[in-house]
């Protein structure tokens, strides 16, 4: 197998694997927002993703597939591309096509990378951009060609409008372009390091940091050459200007947020229709980005979260929940051994490419851990966390995907090394490297009937059970994003005004509700999230619009919106405190017909289990009606 063959084979194998485990519809809850945003060229959360939205829109309109399937395939193709480029990089450092193939397969089969590859989210494309950036940096350092250095600078800047997670690879690309670990070209360090600071400054809207980056780029023209010869300043200044220009062009796609916001697209998070709002959206000020210090959780607990996520990577099907699994731990230990073996062999074989993978591993694990400063994960159970301490809303393993990718690269190399040491052919090592495909398949596949249809069925149930022209209050991301998808892409029940309670805490969202639906109060007088919801509901009743609430709202939230509720369907409808038995029986049958499988697979994220149970509420309401005891209403289907 030759180098191009190894890269192409790895990309094709992984693309087929991803495609076979990819659901044709939404695939997961958060994906609904990105699909709807791509369809309308809107602005999703996280808001700094205009390039992804543009790319997904063009891709989906060119692909001969339904829109949701096409955008999901984009993630599969991007991850397969990352695997192909990875194989090229490994072959360049090891001169072994078998190691190149095994490294790419093991990296791409890590559960986090695989899950990212099968849903419409930005992280797969961000992974591809990061790996291609490393490849460009490697070419710049190997060929001593300034054109590759300029391409590296452009790719680093492109992370700003795509997703800042791609900047994790920038230090690795800079080190490779500068010739590390051999003779370091400090001019390249200043040039690309300045680009990194410039991109980070623009991405965080920290203008002094962006300015410092531009100064570094200009200063690179005056760095003495290695041989001590007097530098030719004018040509070098031309290169510096070209670097700044390319970095500016790369970052400029964020202006799409400003231009598109004036058309008020369906998904318009933050409404960045002014320069001030654009800066606020890009820097994510409304999300209270954590500083480096103080730590949001004890450092040892943050490290524990990272180790917890690492244990999910290679054998998730043997223990698909957050509970400790002996078989899963054995798989983790095996690949830890393979990764250590591969790293040690690689260190002696080629120090340059070893430095690249080591840098990717360090930046993608400890670097991310320090920089993001996350709260404790929702499932971690170490003692020492104060009662009532804030936790992350969901598991954040996807933030560490570059680190897990690097681990997979070394594990693949190690598998081939061990096969050779044991006198076995290289293909035996390649098979060992591919073990995570078998050990993760069942846990990461999106095609299981109960989960594959669930986000769309949930959205259809909520919208179809809301009266015509109704105002529907929902509780958060997971019962909002599928509704946006169904309304904007499938065109279902656009007459329903979906109001997301947590977003009412933001000024731009209250203005959006008032602007689009004529409901609510002026922003100058914000009475609180639930009071604002009550004002919207009161306005709706004045306009003779029915008021409904998702069954995921708590009794306290519903009480603040309206004093009484009629139940029976997947939504509560404001009215008397009664159970509509006819409606309950009808919706119970609807759920049974549309989702015949009532038990979902065990999983790390309990979201599917939660919402599948919530869709059993009509059946429970019908049972309650038989008792004629409405005092039990709040105890039925109160899952929060």
In this structure, are 190 and 244 located in the same domain? yes
In this structure, are 231 and 341 located in the same domain? no
Q: What is the mean pLDDT of residues 410-420?
A: 98
Q: Is the pLDDT of residue 640 over 50?
A: no
Of the candidates 267, 288, 309, which is a domain's last residue? 288
Q: Is 123 helix (H, G, I), strand (E, B) or coil?
A: helix
517-526 contact pairs (CB < 8 A, 24+): 517/471, 518/543, 519/471, 519/543
The pTM of the full predicted model, rounded to 2 decimals, is 0.95
In this structure, are 488 and 587 located in the same domain? yes
In this structure, are 294 and 437 located in the same domain? yes
Q: Give the torsion through C-alpha atoms of 114, 117, 120, 121, to 10 deg.
A: 80
Q: Smallest Cα–Cα separation from 260: which of 126, 194, 135, 161?
A: 161
Q: Is the pLDDT of residue 253 over 50?
A: yes
Chain segment 571-629, per-residue pLDDT in tens: 999 988 888 889 999 999 999 999 988 888 999 988 899 999 999 989 888 887 776 55
Q: Are 412 and 345 in contact (CB under 8 A)?
A: no
Query: Is 439 inside a domain boundary?
Result: yes
Chain segment 320-354, per-residue pLDDT in tens: 999 999 999 999 999 999 999 999 999 999 999 99
> Would you state the pLDDT for residue 385?
64
User: Positive or negative, the Cα torsion across 101, 82, 108, 62?
Assistant: negative
The angle formed by the CA atoms of residues 512, 518 and 519, to the nearest 5 degrees, is: 80
> Would you state the pLDDT for residue 388?
67
Q: Is the pLDDT of residue 62 over 80?
A: yes
Query: Is 640 inside a domain boundary?
Result: no
How high is the mean pLDDT of the chain? Answer: 91
Query: Is 585 inside a domain boundary?
Result: yes
The strands making up 497-500's β-sheet, listed across from edge to edge, are 497-500, 471-474, 547-550, 571-574, 565-567, 578-579
Of the candidates 445, 471, 502, which is a domain's last residue? 445
Here the tokens at position 477 are 């991301």
- Cα–Cα distance between 457 and 68 in angstroms, integer? 15
Q: Smallest Cα–Cα separation from 105: which of 94, 113, 93, 116?
A: 113
In this structure, are 491 and 614 located in the same domain? yes
Report CA Rg, the chain: 26
Query: Is 201 inside a domain boundary?
Result: yes
Chain segment 438-465, per-residue pLDDT in tens: 999 999 999 887 788 899 999 999 999 9
DSSP code of residue 25: S
Chain segment 272-298, per-residue pLDDT in tens: 999 999 998 888 877 777 888 899 989
Q: Are 34 and 55 in contact (CB under 8 A)?
A: no
- Cα–Cα distance between 195 and 144 in angstroms, integer? 18
Q: Are 376 and 392 in contact (CB under 8 A)?
A: yes
Chain segment 122-142, per-residue pLDDT in tens: 999 999 999 999 999 999 999
Query: Is 600 inside a domain boundary?
Result: yes
- Cα–Cα distance between 351 and 348 in angstroms, integer? 7
> Would you state the pLDDT for residue 477?
85
In this structure, are 600 and 568 located in the same domain? yes
pLDDT band of 230, cuts 50, 70, 90 = low
Query: Is 406 inside a domain boundary?
Result: yes
The set of residues, in sequence order, having a beta carbon less than 8 Å from that of 525 and lying 6+ positions away, is: none
pLDDT band of 387, cuts 50, 70, 90 = low
Here the tokens at position 147 are 């054109």
Of the candidates 262, 288, 314, which is a domain's last residue? 288
In this structure, are 355 and 436 located in the same domain? yes
In terms of DSSP bridges, do strands 565-567 and 497-500 run parallel, antiparallel, or are they unpaired? Answer: unpaired
Distances from the Cα of 119 to the Cαs of 188, 195, 371, 514, in angstroms?
37, 31, 26, 33
Q: Is the pLDDT of residue 184 over 80?
A: yes
- Cα–Cα distance between 244 and 75 in angstroms, integer? 30
In this structure, are 166 and 263 located in the same domain? yes
Q: What's the domain count of the chain?
A: 3
Chain segment 468-527, per-residue pLDDT in tens: 999 999 998 888 999 999 999 999 999 999 999 999 988 899 999 999 999 987 666 777
In this structure, are 267 and 312 located in the same domain? no
> Would you state the pLDDT for residue 578?
84
> Would you state the pLDDT for residue 621?
85
Note the helical H segments in 391-452: 401-421, 426-433, 435-444, 449-452
Query: Is 352 inside a domain boundary?
Result: yes
Per the model's pLDDT, the better-predicted residue between 379 and 327 turns out to be 327
> Would you state the pLDDT for residue 289?
77
Q: What is the mean pLDDT of residues 522-547?
A: 88
DSSP string, 223-292: SPPTT-PPP-HHHHHHHHHHHHHHHHHHHGGGHHHHHHHTT--SSBTT---SHHHHHHHHTTGGG----S
In this structure, are 170 and 274 located in the same domain? yes
Q: Is the pLDDT of residue 632 over 60?
A: no
DSSP string, 472-534: EEE-SSTTTHHHHHHHHTS---TTSEEEEGGGGGSHHHHHHHHHHH--S--TTS---HHHHHH
- Cα–Cα distance between 172 and 131 in angstroms, integer? 10
Q: Is 599 helix (H, G, I), strand (E, B) or coil?
A: coil
- Cα–Cα distance between 631 and 275 in angstroms, integer? 53
Q: Burial level of 435, CB count in 10 A (0-12/13-18/19+)?
A: buried
Q: Burial level of 302, CB count in 10 A (0-12/13-18/19+)?
A: buried
In this structure, are 359 and 238 located in the same domain? no
> Would you state the pLDDT for residue 383?
62
Percent of the chain with pLDDT over 90: 73
The set of residues, in sequence order, having a beta carbon less than 8 Å from that of 104 and lying 6+ positions away, is: 6, 7, 10, 11, 14, 83, 84, 86, 87, 90, 409, 412
In this structure, are 504 and 631 located in the same domain? yes
Here the tokens at position 599 are 């038990």
Query: Is 67 inside a domain boundary?
Result: no
Q: Is the pLDDT of residue 120 over 90?
A: yes
- Domain range for 413 is 1-23+76-117+290-445
Q: How far apart are the first and last CA of the chain?
A: 55
- Cα–Cα distance between 615 and 638 in angstroms, integer? 12
> Picking from 151-165, 301-315, 582-596, which range would have the lowest pLDDT averaged per residue?
582-596
Q: What is the mean pLDDT of residues 345-373?
A: 96
């Amino acid at each position: 197998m030759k180098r191009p063959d190894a890269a192409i084979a790895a990309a094709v194998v992984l693309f087929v694997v991803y495609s076979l485990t990819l659901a044709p519809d939404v695939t997961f809850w958060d994906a609904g927002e990105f699909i709807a945003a791509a369809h309308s060229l809107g602005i999703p959360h996280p808001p700094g993703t205009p390039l992804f939205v543009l790319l997904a829109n063009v891709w989906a309109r060119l692909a001969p597939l339904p829109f949701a399937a096409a955008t999901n395939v984009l993630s599969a193709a991007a991850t397969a591309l990352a695997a192909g480029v990875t194989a090229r990089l490994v072959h360049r450092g090891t001169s072994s096509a078998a190691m190149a193939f095994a490294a790419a397969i093991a990296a791409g089969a890590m559960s986090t990378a695989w899950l990212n590859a099968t849903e419409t989210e930005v992280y797969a494309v961000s992974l591809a951009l990061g790996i291609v950036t490393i490849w460009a940096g490697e070419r710049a350092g190997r060929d001593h060609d300034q054109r590759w250095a300029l391409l590296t600078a452009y790719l680093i800047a492109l992370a700003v409008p795509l997703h800042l997670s791609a900047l994790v690879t920038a230090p690795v690309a800079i080190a490779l372009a500068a010739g590390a670990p051999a003779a370091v070209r400090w001019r390249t360090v200043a040039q690309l390091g300045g680009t990194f600071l410039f991109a980070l400054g623009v991405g965080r809207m920290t203008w002094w940091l962006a300015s410092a980056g531009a100064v570094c780029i200009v200063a690179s023209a005056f760095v003495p050459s290695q041989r001590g010869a007097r530098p030719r300043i004018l040509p070098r200044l031309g290169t510096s200007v070209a670097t700044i220009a390319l970095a500016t062009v790369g970052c400029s796609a964020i202006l799409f947020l400003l231009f598109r916001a004036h058309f008020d697209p369906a998904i318009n998070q933050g409404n960045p229709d002014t320069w001030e709002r654009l800066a606020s959206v890009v820097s994510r000020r409304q999300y209270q980005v954590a500083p480096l210090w103080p730590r949001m959780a004890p450092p040892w607990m943050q490290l524990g979260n990272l180790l917890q996520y690492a244990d999910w990577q290679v054998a998730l099907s043997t223990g698909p929940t957050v509970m400790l699994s002996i078989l899963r731990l054995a798989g983790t230990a095996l690949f830890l051994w393979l990764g250590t073996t591969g790293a040690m062999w690689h260190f002696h074989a080629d120090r340059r490419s070893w430095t690249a993978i080591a840098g990717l591993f360090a930046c993608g694990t400890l670097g991310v851990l320090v920089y993001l400063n996350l709260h404790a994960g929702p499932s971690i159970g170490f003692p020492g966390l104060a009662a009532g301490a804030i936790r992350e809303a969901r598991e954040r393993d996807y933030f560490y995907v570059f680190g897990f990718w690097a681990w997979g690269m070394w594990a693949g190399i190690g598998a081939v090394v061990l096969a050779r040491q044991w006198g076995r052919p290289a293909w035996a090592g390649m098979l060992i490297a591919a073990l995570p495909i078998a050990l993760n398949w069942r846990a990461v596949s999106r095609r299981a009937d109960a989960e594959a249809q669930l986000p769309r069925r949930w959205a259809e149930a909520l919208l179809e059970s809301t009266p015509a022209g109704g105002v529907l209050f929902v509780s958060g991301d997971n019962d909002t994003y599928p509704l946006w998808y169904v309304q904007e892409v499938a065109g279902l029940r656009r007459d329903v005004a979906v109001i997301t309670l947590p977003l009412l805490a933001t000024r731009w969202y209250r203005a959006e509700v008032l602007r689009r639906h004529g409901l609510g109060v002026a922003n100058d007088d914000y009475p609180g999230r639930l009071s604002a919801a009550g004002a919207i509901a009161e306005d709706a009743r004045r306009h003779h619009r029915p008021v409904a609430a998702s069954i995921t709202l708590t009794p306290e939230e519903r009480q603040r919106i309206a004093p009484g509720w009629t139940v029976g369907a997947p939504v509560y409808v404001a009215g008397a405190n009664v159970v509509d038995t006819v409606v309950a029986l009808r919706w119970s049958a609807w759920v049974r017909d549309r989702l015949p499988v009532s038990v979902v697979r065990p999983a790390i994220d309990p979201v599917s289990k939660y919402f599948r149970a919530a869709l059993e509420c009509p059946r429970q309401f019908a049972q309650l009606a038989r008792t004629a005891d409405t005092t039990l209403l709040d105890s039925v289907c109160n899952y929060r």
